[in-house]
């Protein structure tokens, strides 16, 4: 009998320190009108930061605990943890290992996914494939977590985009979908546009790299808008083709929560009503690797995704990576 991954519980965590756009206008006073322009271009009104003594794994633990509670599972029930982030606790070891210890998931294997904001859909796709092919794998936790503001220069204008948060999902095997299809795309020619370019093997951290800011996240060049405006519909169409469903069959679309006008344009191009696209960036900010999982949980608890509903999730991150998955909810 076929084994399909199905989502049996979700969770989300948004920390408590509110960073409003008005507060950023003071911080970024040296860049006149920047916050006004970004607010109009993105729809983001605020973001939230964790305490200074927290790490990414602390966000992940809280979202994971909620997802486990909603799935009626305990940490020791987990067979595998997949954690997606590009703001890890350490370069090594993997943040998923740290999360395993903090959760008390003593029976779980772990690995990290590091394709930025495409990490959560990528993690879901990996979990679905592993569940389908491993009868002994029963319960898998997928988490997306983001704390990029800790790795940024607070005077860099791109601080506008860095909100903290985590989203999580618990997946188990079912004899019917569940998981329907996945699609991925990348273009490495953009790998020097936005990132942290010192601290790894290409340029180990040094006094010079720290002084010159290369150990903090930097936007060197702006991505052309067609990356998402054309890339997201391409991912969706592949999900539709491989999954054997139609655009009009989709109950909910979730895209990377970075620019609301992009979502509006993509939905119009797909011929789908805008009300089928769920957004949280207005009040929760841009949360990178976490945002797709956070939006999924928010949609479920607010009744936007009914039982049996078909959801398409597409993430797009620096590098660049894009990934999408289609799931039917139980």
- Which tens digits make up the pLDDT trace of 92-134? 999 999 999 999 999 999 999 999 999 999 999 999 999 999 9
Interior angle at CA 287, CA 282 and CA 289, nearest 5: 140
Cβ 220 vs Cβ 194: under 8 Å: yes
> Looking at residue 268, what is its pLDDT?
98
In terms of pTM, does the model score above 0.95?
yes
Domain that holds residue 51: 4-176
Q: Is the same domain home to 201 and 296?
A: yes
Among the candidates 176, 197, 220, a domain finishes at 176
CB atoms within 10 A of CB 325: 29
Cβ 71 vs Cβ 170: under 8 Å: yes
Q: Is the same domain home to 83 and 214?
A: no
13: Cα within 13 Å, side-chain hemisphere: 24
CB atoms within 10 A of CB 42: 20
The band of 6, judged by pLDDT with boundaries at 50, 70 and 90, is very high
Q: Is the same domain home to 199 and 314?
A: yes
Q: Is the same domain home to 167 and 189?
A: no
Q: Is the same domain home to 218 and 163?
A: no
Among the candidates 131, 157, 176, a domain finishes at 176
Q: Is the same domain home to 73 and 21?
A: yes
pLDDT tens per residue across span 208-259: 999 999 999 998 998 898 999 999 999 999 999 999 999 999 999 999 999 9
Q: What is the secondary structure of 157-170 as a DSSP string?
A: GGGGG---EEEEEE
Structural domains in the chain (count): 2
Whether 1 shows a pLDDT value over 90: the answer reads no
Tell me the two tokens of residue 194.
Answer: 């936005």
> Looking at residue 234, what is its pLDDT?
98
Q: Is the same domain home to 165 and 254?
A: no
Q: Is the same domain home to 144 and 257?
A: no
Residue 207 sits in a domain of what CATH number?
Answer: 3.40.47.10
Q: Is the same domain home to 152 and 20?
A: yes
Among the candidates 176, 200, 223, a domain finishes at 176
CB atoms within 10 A of CB 204: 10
Cβ 284 vs Cβ 294: under 8 Å: yes
Cβ 156 vs Cβ 96: under 8 Å: no
């Amino acid at each position: 009998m076929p084994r399909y991954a199905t989502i049996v519980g979700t969770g989300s965590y948004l920390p408590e320190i509110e960073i409003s756009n008005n507060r950023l206008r003071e911080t970024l006073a040296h860049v006149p009108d920047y916050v006004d322009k970004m607010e109009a271009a993105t729809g983001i009104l605020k973001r939230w930061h964790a305490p200074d003594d927290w790490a990414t794994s602390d966000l992940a633990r809280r979202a994971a605990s909620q997802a486990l509670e909603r799935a009626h599972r305990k940490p020791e029930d987990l067979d595998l943890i997949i954690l997606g982030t590009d703001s890890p606790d350490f370069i090594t070891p993997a943040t998923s290992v740290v999360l395993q210890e903090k959760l008390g998931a003593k029976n779980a294997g772990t690995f990290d996914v590091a394709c930025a904001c495409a990490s959560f859909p990528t993690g879901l796709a990996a979990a679905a494939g592993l569940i389908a092919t491993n009868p002994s794998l029963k319960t898998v936790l997928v988490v997306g977590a983001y704390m990029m503001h800790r790795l940024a220069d607070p005077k860099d204008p791109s601080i506008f985009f860095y909100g903290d948060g985590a989203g999580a999902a618990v997946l188990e095997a079912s004899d019917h979908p569940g998981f329907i299809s996945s699609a991925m795309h990348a273009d490495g020619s953009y790998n020097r546009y936005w990132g942290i370019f010192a601290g790894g093997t290409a340029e180990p951290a040094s006094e010079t790299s720290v002084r010159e800011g290369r150990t903090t996240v930097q936007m060197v060049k702006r991505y052309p808008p067609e990356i998402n405006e054309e890339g997201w519909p391409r991912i969706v169409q592949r999900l539709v083709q491989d999954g054997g469903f139609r655009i009009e069959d989709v109950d909910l679309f979730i895209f990377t929560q970075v620019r609301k006008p992009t979502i509006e344009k993509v939905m119009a191009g797909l011929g789908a009503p805008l009300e089928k696209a769920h957004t949280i960036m207005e009040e929760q900010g841009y949360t990178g690797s976490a945002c797709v999982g956070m939006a999924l949980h928010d949609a479920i608890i607010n009744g936007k995704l009914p039982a049996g509903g078909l959801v398409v999730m597409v993430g797009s991150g620096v590098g660049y990576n894009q990934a999408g998955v289609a799931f039917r909810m139980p």
